[in-house]
Amino acid sequence: MIRFFRHDIEDPHRFVITLELVPGSESIARTVDTVMGMAKDAYSDGRISAVSITDNPGGNPSLSPDVLGNEIFKLGMDVIVHFTCRDTNRVGIESRALQLAMMGMKNILALTGDYSGKGFGGQGAPVFDLDSVNLICMLSMLSQRINEDGDPEGFLIGCAVSPFKRMEGECFSQYAKLCKKVSAGSQFVITQLGYDVRKFQELIQIEQKMGIKVPTIGALYFLTPRIARIMNSGKIPGAVVTDKLCHAVEREWTSPKQGREVAIERSARLGAILKGLGYRGIHIGGIQRNFHTVGKILDRMEQIEKNWKDFVFEFDFPQPHGYYFFKKKPKSGLSEDTANAEKLTPPMTRRRLFKLMEDVHNLLFSFDSPFQELIESICLWADKNAFGDLLIKLLEDPAKKLLLDCQKCGDCGIVHVAFLCPESQCPKHIRNGACGGSHNGMCEVYPDRRCIWYRAYNRLATAGRTQEMASDCVPPRMWELNKTPSWVNLHLKRDHQSAATEITRFCSAVTCRIEVDLVK
């Protein structure tokens, strides 16, 4: 009999437990046998609602989660397949989604994905044709088609969020994008890894303020010194282990037996806290050898869950000068419901630059501009005249190259990113919000460069309009417009802002309508 994750997550009275399994790079090896053995034991235990299978974690090649997941699904254990946008374009993504539906594996964790790692002959070419919000839109649309074909159950779509960010702009960007993901059709949420109880609590508080009511699952991890050091160094995007915690784990594992017992106890206590805070479940990772450790964590958690408040101060691992949306209660170690004021005070030069770019946009590139009819007629003439086309290019290309490092995509997205270019300045080309990999405001891929969405937040904060980051699901880039004049495409209503494509209409229909006011 198959255990269905969908039924468990939709039951408001059930505390859901999922287990992350990481396939190796071999198709027939000890690691595969170990993963299959853990899946069998998880099914026999009866407390695990589903196992999740990672999709080329770290961007490095490993056994497909679809193949391994299908074998586990045959055992009766339900599966959540991690689905990233890193390696395949939108055609391949849709094909894979249809294949998963055909196999009956409809639980999807939709992710933008880590940047590409090394594969055959060197680093793989990063694709990122869609981002996680567009992926959720696509899966939601496919679910409608599945329903119309007579299957009452479409995809059960999950998303990830990283509440463990240090900078104000990073924090806001994560929650704003979560709003978009839920509006696009995400039905459950799984957090990234961290050990700051106030950040775990903050996510629940933010969801309440936003009106987000989808089930949220908190991630916990069986920490060993090796993994703690890797996370502490920032090599696992989005995961946070502070220096203080890393040193504590290294001391605990001086004796391996003692280290394992402490790791089990820490995991159980964090699980109890998450349940006490109102999380609908926990997602257990970091256990790769046998299911016995999982069983011990769950047994211990059942013993202590009523005393969860006693353990709060054990998870006080804030990042240096980290930003919190809510004030702290010193006696409890948790947060109040009273919001902190925004700390950010943008410099005058930044405010003036943003205002200038916005004024130019409203004057020349807005359908509400008083010059719209004149500009449209000029674009119509240029579109049909070789000299006009050359003139437009001579005006557009140098200006946008100088100001934006324009890549001439023909489907400009700067209006969605506070007049920053997502094609040239984001290695993942994301138009719908920050990925989870930024660190201290810096890009995951280029650590010497500010994250474009962190910069966008700073710009929007100059005008008191950061709430805009939580609205408008932005359709993906239209590749058919590549190397054509984006100014002409905009005014002739060919680009993503106007084109009557199916996904454009769907994105417009699911625009985030949640009232976002995080600081009042």
Kindly report, residue by residue over 297-355, the tens digit of the pLDDT.
999 999 999 999 999 999 999 999 999 999 999 899 999 988 876 656 666 677 788 88
Query: How many Å apart are CA 168 and CA 343, to the nearest integer?
Result: 8
Instruction: Give the model's confidence band at 483: pLDDT under 50 very low, under 70 low, under 90 confident, else very high.
Output: very high
Instruction: Give the model's confidence band at 61: pLDDT under 50 very low, under 70 low, under 90 confident, else very high.
Output: confident
* Secondary structure of residue 404 in the 3-state scheme: helix
Name the nearest CA neighbour of 430 among 60, 85, 54: 85
Give pLDDT tens digits for 143-169: 999 999 999 999 999 999 999 999 999
Please give the tally of structural domains in the chain.
1
Position 520 scores a pLDDT of 42
Position 288 scores a pLDDT of 84
Average pLDDT over the chain, rounded to whole?
91
Whole-Å CA distances, 424 to 17, 290, 443, 461, 513: 41, 45, 13, 23, 30
Whole-Å CA distances, 503 to 131, 140, 187, 324, 470: 13, 11, 19, 36, 19
The DSSP 8-state label assigned to residue 168 in this structure reads: H
Position 203 scores a pLDDT of 97
Q: Which residue has the tokens 């939108």?
A: 90
Query: How many Å apart are CA 73 and CA 18, to the nearest integer?
Result: 14
Give pLDDT tens digits for 372-415: 999 999 999 999 989 888 888 888 999 899 889 999 999 999 99
On whether residue 107 sits in a domain, the answer given is no
Give pLDDT tens digits for 88-137: 999 999 999 999 999 999 999 999 999 988 888 888 899 999 999 999 99
On whether residue 445 sits in a domain, the answer given is yes
Instruction: Give the model's confidence band at 30: pLDDT under 50 very low, under 70 low, under 90 confident, else very high.
Output: low
Give pLDDT tens digits for 263-299: 999 999 999 999 999 999 999 999 988 899 999 999 9
Give pLDDT tens digits for 62-77: 888 999 999 999 999 9
The yes-or-no verdict on residue 434 having pLDDT over 90 is yes
Whole-Å CA distances, 5 to 10, 139, 217, 497: 9, 18, 13, 37
* Secondary structure of residue 2 in the 3-state scheme: coil
On whether residue 51 sits in a domain, the answer given is no
On whether residue 426 sits in a domain, the answer given is yes
On whether residue 415 sits in a domain, the answer given is yes
CB neighbours of 480 closer than 8 A, spacing ≥ 6? none
On whether residue 448 sits in a domain, the answer given is yes
Whether residue 96 contacts residue 103, with contact meaning beta carbons closer than 8 Å, is answered with no
Q: Which residue has the tokens 């959720």?
A: 136
Position 25 scores a pLDDT of 65
Determine the structural domain holding residue 396 and report its residue range: 348-509
Position 56 scores a pLDDT of 87
On whether residue 274 sits in a domain, the answer given is no
Query: How many Å apart are CA 26 and CA 47, to the nearest integer?
Result: 29
Query: How many Å apart are CA 157 and CA 180, to the nearest integer?
Result: 13
The yes-or-no verdict on residue 515 having pLDDT over 60 is no
This prediction's pTM: 0.94
Name the nearest CA neighbour of 195 among 301, 274, 251, 255: 274
